[in-house]
Amino acid sequence: MIVDLPSSNTSAVNKKIVELRESGGVLALGRVLTLVIVTDDGTTIEAAIEAANAASREHPCRVIVLARGQRKAAPRLDAQIRVGGDAGASEVIVLRGYGPLAADDAGAGMVMPLLLPDAPVVAWWPGEAPAVPSQDAVGVLAQRRITDALASKNPLKAFEQRRARHVAGDTDLTWTRLTSWRALLATALDAPPHEDVTGAVVAGEVVSPSTDLMAGWLATRLGVKVKRSPAENGQGLVSVRLDRPSGPVELVRPDSKVGSLRQPGQPDRLVALARREVRDCLAEELRRLDPDEIYGAALAGVSQVTRGRTPVKVPAVVGA
């Protein structure tokens, strides 16, 4: 069910939610958090809501979407409430602010009356995010702040801002996209012959914050020299090589779909390494509401990584 409330206010929205709950049995009970999505009014809103709805099936929540409209328009707040099949396992409240209500500092005032009592708040910027999310008006309300440097107009600039101004509670989906890679590499090192890693080479696109984060993570966790090189082919993070005395451990993914794990004395193994959907990354981030110290350490570790200029050519995965 979708209910439109044009030229409304947050008080009217709250009353309508209570009315829907009483008349249709739509319950806020069991909601584990409030997810606030901050974005500009446009085509990306529905994609963000769809991702939030998918994640809400694992984490029932109230979703508040701040869709900032034209800043030069007359002051107006258009609200929309989605419940039932149109909201997954959540309640979705879309607030479209115009004029002064579209300003960055106006969002917190609209959000506060709609927050679930005694429930954690998570803020998510699916597109452009503030330079310092923890100091943003909405970010101050949140225990966790989720950004996505890859969705910015300038991913490298956004990534450098995350590094320079990271505080506990911040996270970025460029980190979450590495979960499968990190799990496979950790599993490979847990198997015999249990040798120390002597060095590592990480290759990926020139503009790939995830590749930079992978290199930073390896530098901090292994305490070895890590080189970050451009990849001659492939998209995003393409390959990781961990050097050991008996031979390297290599994880490669040249086609963004299927990867290959190569270890000395063992046949190559095909592994599923498709680029993760935003909804899957969001669901993973909502599983924890405490600070991600490993992500913070990986950001700091990027400064320890050396840069290679020679492109690394990654061969195709046989059998994929």
The domain that holds 7 is classified in CATH as: 3.40.50
Which of 98, 125, 147 is where one domain is finished? Answer: 147
Residues 187 and 282 in one domain: yes
How many whole angstroms separate alpha carbon 242 and alpha carbon 1? Answer: 52
Rounded CA separation 279/135 (Å): 26
Q: Rounded CA gap, 298 and 304, in Å?
A: 10
Shared-domain flag, residues 134 and 262 = no
Residue 147: pLDDT over 70: yes
Angstrom CA distances, 252 to 44, 124, 164, 202, 312, stand at 32, 31, 30, 10, 11
User: For the whole model, what pTM was predicted?
Assistant: 0.93
Reported confidence tier of residue 23, pLDDT bands at 50, 70, 90: confident
Q: What is the mean pLDDT of residues 227-236?
A: 94
Distance, C-alpha 278 to centroid of its chain: 7
Q: Within this chain, do residues 201 and 276 fall inside the same structural domain, yes or no?
A: yes
In a domain, 161, yes or no: no
- Summarize pLDDT for 4-15 with one digit per residue, the tens: 999 999 999 999
Could you tell me which residue, 248 or 21, shows the higher pLDDT? 248
In 173-268, where do the E strands start and end?
199-204, 226-230, 237-243, 249-252, 258-262
Residues 29 and 140 in one domain: yes
What is the spatial distance between Cα 286 and Cα 59, in angstroms, rounded to a whole number? 7
Structural domain count, the chain: 2
Q: What's the domain range around 15?
A: 2-147
Q: Distance (Å, rounded) from C-alpha 176 to C-alpha 158?
A: 16
Question: pLDDT tens for residues 266-305?
Answer: 899 999 999 999 999 999 999 989 999 999 999 999 999 9
Do the domain assignments include residue 171?
no
Quote the percentage of the chain above a pLDDT of 70. Answer: 96
**The pLDDT value given to residue 165:** 95
Q: Quick one: pLDDT at residue 40?
A: 87
Secondary-structure breakdown of the chain: helix, strand, coil percentages, each rounded to the nearest 5? 35, 25, 40
**42-68 average pLDDT score:** 91
Q: Is the pLDDT of residue 22 over 80?
A: no
Q: Is the peptide bond before 245 cis (omega within 30 degrees of 0)?
A: no
For residues 207-230, average pLDDT? 97
Tell whether 282 and 189 lie within a shared domain.
Answer: yes
Same domain for 199 and 300: yes
Examine the domain organization and report whether 200 and 125 are in the same domain: no
